Each structure stands twice: as structure tokens, then as C-alpha cells.
Chain A
């Protein structure tokens, strides 16, 4: 009898611990929303990726359709090469374009995909030709200052 009740308490302890770890993985972590499904890889070249990181989201119309797999640099064309893991379920035309966007004012950067009009879809190994780089704050400020200076000259 004594042994039985001991087993029950220890069993309860282990089940509670396992349940807590499951809770952390499913409710706090993103295991539930993570896609373990099949993906196809496409690449895109950008002049400037800003602070884009691997694992950043790839979104179309705000919906996550893939993740950034890796980021490299091509020293033939001097551009950053971003490899995207796209979910198998989402197909995009071959002439779709990719932009690097920012969530919120200073938030995480992600890739936005805008569908084109081609009949054929992107397949594994394709390259997205039309890209738009990340907006760099310094460039924006520079443009602003130049345009102000030009205005000043005009008025004189």
C-alpha cells in the first residue's frame, strides 16, 4: 500500500513536469504554428538587406508563407543573396517581386512578396528577379537633406 501511493505521487510529479514542458513548447513557443511541411527554395538578390536575419518571415498580403533560410553574398554581382524557404502549399507567378519591409517603425524586417501576372509559377531553384532593398534610415535622411537643399537653391 505504501509503495503504491509512493508510485502515484512520483508519477504525478513526472506527468506535471512533462505537461509543463509541453505547455512551454506549444503555448509559449511557436511549435504549434511552425510549419514542418514541405518547402521549396527560391533565391532573391538584394542591393541591401538592412538588418534582415535568417528565420525572418516571408509574407504575402501579411500572411506568413515562408521563412528566410540563409543569407549570403555574391561577389560576382556584389549583391546579397537571400534564400527563401517557401511553403509548398503557396504558389507564386514567376515574375513576382520581393521587397524587404519593416514591421512597425523600428521593428523586425521581413520579406514581402507581391504576386505578378505570369502563367508559370516559381519552382525550386528559381530566382526572384524583381527585388526592392531595405530602406536604410541614413539614405532617407540624406535624400531629405538634398531635396531641402535643392529647394533652397530654387527659391534664391
Chain B
């Protein structure tokens, strides 16, 4: 009884460590093979189109609405203290520090991460990856690396667009609809938002999220069992693991960046 319990705990721990090791090894293999992309930039451009351009619409629309909601809700609270001029600052800080990187990352995991996992999982189920290996083409270099870099490049750009459009949404509601003074809206924002502390730290967050989500999606697809059940399961796992990872990383990064 006791022996069986210890056996299952030990086995579980070993499997866990093994899976971490495997994914880390694949990650570094992929990074090592990445310089090969410089010789074939077309692969990267194609993936940027699939991952970046197709995510554009949902990101811009979400950013606009998040900004507008922040404008409305922020105004109700700030107005109670007679500080409605700080609306611009509230919207800009909220977006650049937290909401921009986090919501973009969550949307990206749902919009692009799932499609990456499903695509690679199906490639594996269809034995396309094995076929590549037979032709002496390394699937990690040919399939994973361009998708990974496309994701890492896309997420910060999408985050920037999300925050920028969100600020415009807040401006639309705050200045256009409610009638907050336009000069105060922008000057309070510029007075309170620091380029390095707020904008750049938000950018760093988005790069970290981009690496994490894209790699989780790729690895889930790459390591999926070649069955319909497991490919669909891997797609679900991509969303669950990336979302939890985003919240955890966001907490850690916020604690590191803004604790002082």
C-alpha cells in the first residue's frame, strides 16, 4: 500500500521532471537552429502573415472596447473625487502596464496559439513531420522555428496596437462623449506615464508573454499523440496552460518591475 503510493508519487515526479527537460531541450534546439531562418526569411514572412495579420482585427476591436469601458468606468469613480481630469492617466497607465500585455496575450493564445497547436498536431498525425525527417529536413528548424519567431515578433506589436487603440477609445469616450478637457486628458497622461517605467516595462512583459505562449502552443502540438483525441486535447491544453502561465508570469513581472 505504502509502497504503491510512494511509487506513484516518485513516478509522477520523474515524469514531470522529464517533461520539463524534454521541452527545455526542444526549446534550445529550436533556438540553436533559428539562425537558419536568415537564409530563408520567406518562411518567417509567411508565418507573420498567418499569426500577426489575422490576429489584427480581434486585437484592435478588443483594444478599442477595453479603452472605452475603462473611460466610462474610470470617469464614474474619478468624478466622485473631482479628479476626472486624471482620466487620461488612468486609462493610459492601466493599458500600458497591465491590460494591454495581458489581454493581448490571452486573445493571442486563443486566436493564434490554438491554430498553431492544431496545425502542428495534424502535421504530426498525418506523418508530415516524419516525412520531413525522411527527406533530411529538420522539422524543428523548418516548422517550429519560423512560427516561434513570428509569434515572438507579433505579440509585442499587437500589444502596442491594443494599448494605442485603447487610449484612443478612452479619449473617444472621455473627451468626445463625456466632455473631459482635452488638454488635461493628454497632459495628465504625459505627466504620469513614464516611458521606461511604464511603456517599456509593458513592452518587456509582452515579449515574455510572446515567447511563453508561442512556445507552449508549438510544444503542445509537437508532442501531441497522433490521434484525433489527443490533438484536440493538446489544443485545449494550449489555452489552459498559456492562460495560467500568463497570469503567473504577469504577477511575477509586476512584482519585479513595479514593487519599488
Contacts and interface: CB of A to CB of B under 8 A. Distances in A.
Interface residues of B, number: 32
Interface string B198-216: 1100110000000000000
B46 A13 contact: no
A7 to B, nearest CB: 6
Contact of B167 (A17, A28, A55): A28
A27 B92 CA distance: 10
Contact of B160 (A17, A33, A55): A17
A12 B193 CA distance: 28
A132 to B, nearest CB: 24
Contacts of B163: 20, 24, 28
B48 to A, nearest CB: 5
Contacts of B164: 19-21, 23-24, 28
Interface residues of A, number: 26
A3 B56 CA distance: 20
A17 B194 contact: no
Given A6-B46, A33-B190, A13 B160 contact: no
Contact of A25 (B42, B154, B156, B195): B195
B158 interface: yes
20 contacts: A13-B154, A13-B157, A14-B157, A16-B56, A16-B161, A17-B52, A17-B157, A19-B164, A21-B160, A21-B164, A21-B199, A23-B160, A24-B160, A27-B190, A28-B167, A28-B189, A29-B195, A30-B190, A30-B191, A34-B195
Given A20-B163, A24-B199, 17 more contacts: A6-B46, A7-B45, A10-B49, A14-B157, A17-B156, A18-B157, A18-B160, A20-B161, A20-B164, A21-B156, A21-B199, A23-B160, A23-B167, A25-B195, A27-B167, A27-B186, A28-B163
Interface of B: 42, 45-46, 48-49, 52-53, 56, 92, 96, 153-154, 156-158, 160-161, 163-165, 167, 186, 189-191, 193-195, 198-199, 202-203
Interface of A: 3, 6-7, 9-10, 12-14, 16-21, 23-25, 27-34, 55
